[in-house]
Structure 1
Amino acid sequence: MTQSSAHTETKAKPKRKKGGNAGWIPDQHGAWVMVIIPLVVGISVARPALIHVPLAVAWFVGYFAFFAAGLWMKARGPRKQRYVAPLVTYGIICVIASAVVVAMRPTILIFALVFGPLVAVAIWEAWNRRPRSLASGESTVLASCAMIPVTAWAAGDPMTTRLWVSTVVIALYFCGTIPYVKTLIRKRGDRAWFIGSVAYHLVAAVAVAVFAVAGLVTFLAVPAFLVVALRAWWMPWHAERRGTPWRPRTIGFGEMAVTVLVLVAALIPPVA
């Protein structure tokens, strides 16, 4: 699997060990790409800097803390206690790493205006036991994509047009994966979700084509997003036609290939 927390829907249901996840190690493997890629893309578009070390620690441990917090909010009664240790441990480490980042680059606090509302939505949905809602998924995806400009800002690099366009292109793709995956798993056979997903992907493809014509992104991004839009239609359509859902493993491997395709298209500079 390669996508956001919403994409954990594509995981095969494992045989849980007695007691379940203790909150120390996130088992939502699909979220890892959404944690790793923004940091890598930001550094690739900008430049590596020492501040990226504490920033990476704060970002990764922050994800661990968020995962533990989700389990804590979901649990009832005495079971809540088992998640306190990982939540507090990761929370303290995240605060310390974040403090180091702020000390090195105080103006990075401006991004609290972006992350604050997005994280608040995700926490609200988790608190109301809707961690896989569309609002929760999109808010976490957008927060992840916001890390691309954050890495550049942290290093003191200028907020170039290329940086913002790369961020938008990657966000367009990742935001679309949430409704797409739902049409294959939880919303399989739901006509409204299918139409909405396909419509979104067509609009995203048109937007990328406009960027390409304007010279803001390489023209390779256009066929890449056409492939993305095609798979948003064909995968659920074919599953319904044959009467058999796609295996989570197949969906995951397919998304790996598409993700690489989009990343390459987003990172290649447009021809002047």
Structure 2
Amino acid sequence: MKWYIPREHGAWAMFIVPYWIGASITGINLHHGIFFLGLLSIYFAQAPLLTYLRQPKHKDVWPSFIIYMICGSLFALPYIWIDPQLLVIGLFILPFFCVNLIFAKLKKERLFINDVVAITALSGLLLFSYRLGHGVITVEAFHYVIVTIAFFTGSVFHVKSLLREKGNVVFRKVSTTYHVVMVIVMTVASFYGAAVAFLVSLLKTLVLPKKYFQRPMQIGVIEIINSSVFFVAIIVGYYYG
């Protein structure tokens, strides 16, 4: 049996960071870890599913898909049974995931709008961990979801300006302008941790030598580091800002 594992570096950061931001600002507990294992298994399940949508000839995807979904259900369903509000959150995220499936079927996954839809879905995972830690979903949770969406959208701008839009001067200027604007917006909104993270993202592009942006692997590693900086900045800003 062939195991299908998500390989996109950026997607891994987008999956992990939002959830653990929600857990960290509400107080990490054992339930966060157990439920995360459920989400992780379900996240793994999307790899064989997307593979099949892209190339239906791959009939070997279903065993791994079923195993991943069973594992995900074993970890997540008990919590959903106890707290149906977690199901409501899942139903909120599901339509965004369905849109991603449609883009995969159409072989148009690299479109910017598809990236934003995926970012929105994955940033919504923050609501799960927030609910598990806080017991209720407050306006604060949605504030952090929006901040996370904004950050990873900036990351997509940056990566596309280095790869698919490498020769597009206008796109690169839009990317730089976006980061400048977000530094200002987050500062005015008193999200100082996020403002610092956006400033680091901006400086990363302006200061780092171009030799570090030559290959997709290099860009991916830098974005993972940048996502880690964002995570730390948000948590420090929450507790000490």
Q: Deviations over 1:219-256 (max 9, x none)?
A: x5434322323445667xx75xx9x9623343234324
Give the whole-Å Cα distance in 1 for the aligned partners of 2:74 and 2:222: 38
Q: Quick check: 1:142–1:175 contact (8 Å CA) kept in 2?
A: no
The within-5 A match list for 1:70-149 is: 70-77=50-57, 80-149=58-127
Tell me, what secondary structure is at the counterpart of 1:31?
helix
1:22/1:165 CA distance change after superposition, 3 Å: same
Name the structure 1 match of 2:152.
Answer: 174
Q: Aligned to 2:24, which of 34, 40, 44?
A: 44
Q: Distance in 1 between matches of 2:91 and 2:142?
A: 17
- Correspondence for 1:267 among 220, 235, 238: 235
Runs of at least 5 residues in structure 2 that lack an aligned partner in the other structure: none
Residue identity matched to 1:224: A
Match of 1:67 among 32, 38, 47: 47
| Residue identity opposite 1:124 in structure 2 | I
Rounded to whole Å, the distance in 1 between the matches of 2:186 and 2:194 is 7
Partner Cα separation in structure 1 for residue 213 and residue 126 of structure 2: 35
Q: Which residue of 2 aligns with 1:3?
A: none
Q: TM-score, normalised by structure 1?
A: 0.76
Quick one: structure 1 residues 224 and 42, their matched pair in 2 at CA, closer, same or farther if it must change by over 3 Å?
Answer: closer
Q: Which residue of 2 aligns with 1:222?
A: 195
Runs of 4+ residues over 6 Å off in structure 1: none
Structure 2 contact 213–219 (Cα < 8 Å) conserved: no
Distance 1:253 1:245 in 2: 10
Taking a change above 3 Å as real, the CA distance of residues 185 and 143 of structure 1, as seen in their structure-2 partners, is: same
Query: What whole-Å deviation, never above 9, does each CA across 1:45-101 have from its counterpart, x for those lacking one?
Result: 112345434421221011111111111111243xx2121211222123334433222
After superposition, the Cα gap between the structure-2 partners of 1:270 and 1:210, relative to the gap in structure 1 and judged at 3 Å, is farther
Instruction: Report the counterpart of residue 183 of structure 2 in structure 1.
Output: 205
1:255 aligned partner, one-letter code: E
Q: Give the C-alpha shift of residue 107 in structure 1.
A: 1.7
Structure 2 residue corresponding to 1:195, chosen from 169, 173, 184: 173
Q: Contact 1:54–1:100 (CA<8 Å) still a contact in 2? A: no
1:55 maps to which of 8, 28, 35: 35
TM-score when scaled to structure 2?
Answer: 0.84
* Identity over aligned pairs, percent: 22
Distance 1:164 1:199 in 2: 25
* C-alpha distance 245-252 of structure 1, shift in aligned 2 (>3 A): closer
CA distance in 2, matches of 1:249, 1:180: 14
Query: 2:28 corresponds to which letter in structure 1?
Result: P
Rg larger in structure: 1
Q: Which runs of 5+ in 1 are unaligned?
A: 1-20
| Aligned length, in residue pairs | 240
Q: How far has the Cα of 1:127 moved from its partner?
A: 1.2
TM-aligned CA deviation for residue 208 of structure 1: 0.6
Do the aligned residues in 2 keep the contact of 1:58 with 1:98 (CA within 8 Å)?
A: yes
What amino acid is the match of 2:195?
A: V
Picking from 209, 213, 218, the partner of 1:250 is 218
**1:156 CA drift (Å):** 4.5
Distance 1:270 1:91 in 2: 36
> Distance between the aligned counterparts of 1:261 and 1:34, measured in 2?
13
Residue 14 of structure 1: aligned partner: none
Question: What is the rounded CA distance, in whole Å, between the counterparts of 1:53 and 1:104 in structure 2?
Answer: 17
